[in-house]
Amino acid sequence: MRFIKETHIDFMSKTGIAGLLSAFLIVFGVVSMVMNGGPKLSIDFKGGTLVAVNYTEPVDINEVRSFLDQVSIDGQTFDFSKAEIKHFGAVGAIAPLKDESNVAVRLPSMDDEPEQFSQKFVEKMAEAFPALVPDNKTEFILSIEKVGPKIGAELSGDAVMAIISALALILIYISIRFEFKYAVGAIAALTHDVMITLGIFSILGFEVSLAVIAAFLTIVGYSLNDTIVIFDRIRENVKGLKNATLSTVINESINQSLSRTVITSLTTFFVVLILFLVGGEVIHTFAFAMIVGVIVGTYSSIFVASPVVIKMDSGN
């Protein structure tokens, strides 16, 4: 049974408005990244130390920053007042909400870092508010992550190569299965999806981590699957509607696939929305990237990939 009955929506007549919307979102995102000096990279790529602790009561970030202005470790004095310090959600809580008793501090990589620096820094965090430290010290330390600058640079290069390689292989695959013009349309849609998602992350100040890169690759796969379903229907209808224009054939194909597209998108959207709401801090950015990707990926399959195919065909 079809979720959406037979429709006759002229999607291709809306490509002008859709193009302006896409251009606005991409330009806005690119401007944000330029102003911020690029995407906000996590410790996975920049290197450094991330320490997350849990006090028994809420603490003021400004007081934490003031305490970290002068920290002495092994006879060396460090100024960590400009480090990134923030509250974050409790594990199992609704992700966007912040628990002000949880504090995360991200410290840059240091050439002359003392031995066991992370553990000693945690001890200093405990000294900041000794009355608010749990009796069980294992409950105080939520996590300690450490990534060297060289490893971070390698991971950054690997992440970029993973995305480029995926797009190149997709270009080859679509060219073989369909035609080159369809491959160009698919790549345009996938690039559009990644650029908009990356731009939204920059605008909202979200970090790009390895988990987010995994989300980007998942978005690429999801969007490609949706696009191929439409392309497959277009290929079938081109044979059956020989006297119709390509624009008419594409409109017909999208309308025929609309029920399947809506059902698939909604089920995926609800799953990642639940992950976003109750998945906790660890999976928060991954789920958010997937939410954006599902929406943008469904949109681009109709309003980016298909119009590019028409432009490529009219240019022949």
What local confidence, expressed as pLDDT, does residue 31 receive? 94
Contacts of the segment 231-235: beta carbons below 8 A, 24+ positions apart = 231/174, 231/178, 231/182, 231/185, 231/186, 231/305, 231/309, 233/257, 234/306, 234/309, 235/178
Least confident stretch, 5-14, 109-118, 261-270: 109-118
| DSSP letter string, 23-67 | HHHHHHHHHHHHHTTSS-B-HHHH-EEEEEEE-SS---HHHHHHH
Name the more confident of 21 and 261.
Answer: 21
What's the rounded mean pLDDT across residues 183-199? 90
**For residue 199, which of 1, 18, 23 has the smallest C-alpha distance?**
23
Name the more confident of 295 and 81.
Answer: 295
Rounded-to-integer distance, Cα 273 and Cα 290, Å:
9
Percentage of the chain beyond pLDDT 90 is 15
What are φ and ψ of residue 208, in 5° steps? Answer: -100, 110
Q: What distance lies between CA 22 and its chain's CA centroid? A: 17
Rounded-to-integer distance, Cα 28 and Cα 48, Å:
30
Confidence label for 20 from pLDDT (cuts 50, 70 and 90) = very high
Inform me whether the pLDDT recorded for 45 exceeds 80.
Answer: no
Give the model confidence (pLDDT) of 92-134 as tens digits.
444 445 667 888 888 777 767 777 878 888 888 888 888 888 8
